[in-house]
Amino acid sequence: MLLSLLIPGLGHMTLGYLLTGSLLTALFVLSANGLFLSLVLLGDPPLARLLLWTSAPLVGTLWVASLAHCWRLSFGTNHARLSERRRSLLRRALICVLRQETEGAHRLLRRAIRYDRDRNDVALYFHLGICELRLAQQLDETGGRGGNAQRRAARRSFNRCLTRDPEKRWRRDIQRACAKHKVKAPKTAPE
């Protein structure tokens, strides 16, 4: 969060939200550049005034919004409540899997991932990948479109699982699932 005091977006990048942090930093740099140009363009007062009136509020708004969002991500989150909600959704999703309700399990797992603020619950990504493989299989059996897209989504989920799992505990299960469904195993799953 202290990094967001220097430049908005740096705190987000440190917390692992690279895209959000990059976007905030780029917008801040562009608006700060507009503010700087408004001070330099004294020869063209209408343009300088326009840049000043648009850039100054944008710089302040980005700074405050970045600090508030970074605080919410790091300190303003009730991690115990989010963890309990995530576990509850995972349990419900696994029950759906056992009942062969793959679409319902897929929806529940996507919701559970939104509650994973720390991005460390690798089981969610593994089970999501399995659901996506099953959805691809169902699409293939019914002749529907989108089976390849589901397989690509499964590989992305498995990749996320493996990148968040330093001990690679899920590697063997992922390789088995990929072999069963005839899908190329993710690159981050070394032999």
Question: Average pLDDT for residues 83-102, to the nearest whole number?
Answer: 93
In a domain, 144, yes or no: yes
Q: Tell whether 114 and 100 lie within a shared domain.
A: yes
Between 23-27, 59-63, 67-71, the lowest mean confidence (pLDDT) is in 67-71
Cβ atoms within 10 Å, residue 38: 19
From the list 65, 153, 160, the residue with the least C-alpha distance to 106 is 153
Half-sphere exposure of 75 (CA within 13 A, CB side): 7
- Residue 122 pLDDT > 50, yes or no? yes
In a domain, 191, yes or no: no
Residues 6+ apart with CB under 8 A from 123: 90, 170
Q: Tell whether 86 and 175 lie within a shared domain.
A: yes
Q: Tell whether 174 and 114 lie within a shared domain.
A: yes
CATH assignment at residue 173: 1.25.40
Q: Tell whether 70 and 95 lie within a shared domain.
A: no
- Return the sign of the alpha-carbon dihedral for residues 21, 23, 26, 32: negative
Question: Residue 188's pLDDT is what?
Answer: 60
Last residue of a domain, one of 22, 39, 74: 74
In a domain, 105, yes or no: yes
Whole-number average pLDDT of the chain: 86
In a domain, 107, yes or no: yes
Last residue of a domain, one of 47, 74, 101: 74
Q: Tell whether 127 and 38 lie within a shared domain.
A: no
Q: Decide: 126 and 161 in contact? Cβ < 8 Å.
A: yes
Question: Range of 132's domain?
Answer: 80-180
Distance from C-alpha of 114 to C-alpha of 25, rounded to nearest angstrom: 24
Question: Average pLDDT for residues 32-59, to the nearest whole number?
Answer: 83
Query: For residue 31, with 0-12 CB atoms within 10 Å meaning exposed, 13-18 middle and 19 or more buried, which class applies?
Result: buried
| DSSP 8-class letter at 124 | H
Distance from C-alpha of 152 to C-alpha of 130, rounded to nearest angstrom: 12
Q: Tell whether 55 and 86 lie within a shared domain.
A: no
Query: Which amino acid belongs to residue 53?
Result: W
Last residue of a domain, one of 74, 108, 135: 74
Question: Residue 189's pLDDT is what?
Answer: 44
Number of domains in the chain: 2
Residues 6+ apart with CB under 8 A from 2: 11
Q: Decide: 106 and 36 in contact? Cβ < 8 Å.
A: no
In a domain, 186, yes or no: no
pTM over 0.85: no
In a domain, 190, yes or no: no
Cβ atoms within 10 Å, residue 47: 12
From the list 174, 185, 165, the residue with the least C-alpha distance to 130 is 174
In a domain, 39, yes or no: yes
In a domain, 89, yes or no: yes
Question: Residue 124's pLDDT is what?
Answer: 93
- Residue 14 pLDDT > 90, yes or no? no
Query: Which amino acid belongs to residue 58?
Result: L
